[in-house]
Amino acid sequence: MTELDHAVALLREGELVAIPTETVYGLAADAANPAAVAKIFALKGRPSDHPLIVHIAGTAQLDDWATNIPADARRLADAFWPGPLTLILKRQPHVPDAVTGGQDTVGLRAPAHPLAHALLEQFGGGLAAPSANRFGHVSPTTAQHVRDEFGDACPLVLDGGASPVGVESTIVSLVDDTPKLLRPGGVPREAIEAVLGRKLEHHQSNKTAKIRASGLLDSHYAPRTPLILGPLPSLLDEAARRLAAGERVLLLHRSAIGTPTSGIAHQQLAPDAAHFARELYALLRRHDRQHDVLLMEAPPQSPEWLAVNDRLKRAATTRLD
Ligand code: TXA
Ligand code: MG
C-alpha cells in the first residue's frame, strides 16, 4: 500500500490526514462526514462556528458543493484553479453544517500541490481542511511544523516539502452582487480584478464584517514572542534601548544595515514579497520563544505585499512609526 492509498483509507474511515498544499499544510477530513469533520475542530481547538474550506480536485466538482454559481465564480476558477484561491459560494443543501459553521455558504478551493491534487483525485470527494495548526497559532508550511503542533494526535502527515507560496489562499466571496475580498493571499488581488473586470471590495476586519472568517480575527496569526513592526531607523533605536535594558532582541530586516556597532543580533530577510511570504511562517516559528522580542522591518505598502502585510498586521503586537 502506498502512502497515498493509506491516506485515502484513513480518510474513508473518518480519520484525519495532514496534507501539503502550495499555501500552507491543511488538516483534512472527509467533508461529507460530520463526525470526521468534528475531529478537526477537536484537534485544533477551533470554535465550531468557524467554517472550513472544502478542497476539491478541480472545477468539475464545483457543482457538487455549490449552487447558484455565478459566471464570475466559474471565470475565477478557470483562471486560478488549481491554485491558492478560495471561492465562497451558496452551498448545496447536503454540505454538513459542521463544515459551513451553519452558514448557507461554502468555501471551495482546488489546491495546486501535486500530492494534494493526487490525493483528491484518488479520494474522489471533498476534503474539509483548515490550516494544520492549533487555533490561533502560526500556520504550518512544512510537515515538521504539523508534527510539532499535533504530535501523534494526527494519524498521518503527508510530507510534500515546504509550501511554495507560504501564506494562505486568497478568499473571495461571490455570494452577493459585489465580489468581496475576505482575505488577501496567494493570488494577487489585481489578478482577480483583471479577470472580473471590476474592483473587489476589501473587508479589513471582522469588526464590521457580517461574515465569520477566523483569518479575520485581529490577533490570529500571533507568535508568542512579541513582534514589533516598523521602519528600520526606529527599530534600531528600539533595539539599542532594549538591549541596554538586558532584553534578548532579534532584528529582522530587509534593507542592508551593515554591521550594527551595538552588537544587536540581526537576520537579513528576503527582499522580494514572494520569497518573504514563503519564509515568513517558518521564521516566526523558528524564532518564537527564543528571544524576548522580535523587531521586524515593515515591508512596503505596495500591492505585491498585501497578503504579507495582512498577516504581519495580525501577528504584530506593536507598530512603530
Ligand atoms: O490556503 C488555505 O486557504 C489553507 C489551505 C490548507 O487550503 N486553508 C486555510 O484554512 O487557511 P483556514 O480554516 O485556516 O482558513 C480558512 C478561512 C477561515 O477564515 C474561514 O472562516 C474562511 O476561510 N471560510 C471558510 N468557509 C467560509 C464561508 N463559507 N464563508 C466565509 N468564510 C469562510
Ligand atoms: Mg488558519
Question: What was the pLDDT predicted at 210?
Answer: 45
217 CA from centroid of ligand 1 (Å):
12
Q: Tell whether domain 227-319 is in CATH 3.40.50.11030.
A: yes
Distance CA 248, CA 239 (A): 9
The answer to whether 207 and 297 have CB atoms below 8 angstroms apart is no
Superfamily (CATH H level) for 3-209: DHBP synthase (3.90.870.10)
171 CA from centroid of ligand 1 (Å):
7
225 CA from centroid of ligand 1 (Å):
25
Closest by CA to 124, choosing from 75, 58, 214, 43, is 58
229 CA from centroid of ligand 1 (Å):
26
Atom of ligand 1 minimally distant from the CA of 105: 29
Binding site membership of 86 for ligand 1 (Cβ less than 6 Å): yes
User: Which ligand neighbours the alpha carbon of 95 most closely?
Assistant: 1
Binding site membership of 107 for ligand 1 (Cβ less than 6 Å): yes
User: Which ligand neighbours the alpha carbon of 52 most closely?
Assistant: 1
Residue 174's identity, in one-letter code, is: L
The answer to whether 104 and 133 have CB atoms below 8 angstroms apart is no
Question: What was the pLDDT predicted at 203?
Answer: 78
Cell readout for 296 is 521586524
Atom of ligand 1 minimally distant from the CA of 186: 1
The answer to whether 63 and 86 have CB atoms below 8 angstroms apart is no
Binding site membership of 50 for ligand 1 (Cβ less than 6 Å): yes
Domain boundaries, the chain: 3-209, 227-319
Binding site membership of 141 for ligand 1 (Cβ less than 6 Å): no
Q: How far is CA 182 from CA 22, 192, 217, 313, in A?
A: 19, 13, 12, 15
> Which residues have a beta carbon within 5 Å of ligand 2, which is an ion?
131
Binding site membership of 213 for ligand 1 (Cβ less than 6 Å): yes
Mutation test residue for ligand 1: of 49, 86, 139, 145, the one with most atoms within 8 Å of CB: 86
**Which parts of the chain have pLDDT scores under 70?**
204-222, 259-261
Mutation test residue for ligand 1: of 52, 55, 145, 221, the one with most atoms within 8 Å of CB: 52
Q: How many C-beta neighbours within 10 Å does residue 105 have? A: 19
Question: What was the pLDDT predicted at 208?
Answer: 40
Binding site membership of 61 for ligand 1 (Cβ less than 6 Å): no
- What is the layout of strands, in order, in the sheet containing 318-319? 265-268, 249-253, 293-297, 227-230, 318-319
Q: How far is CA 244 from CA 125, 165, 191, 234, 247, in A?
A: 58, 38, 47, 16, 7
Binding site membership of 32 for ligand 1 (Cβ less than 6 Å): no
247 CA from centroid of ligand 1 (Å):
37
107 CA from centroid of ligand 1 (Å):
7
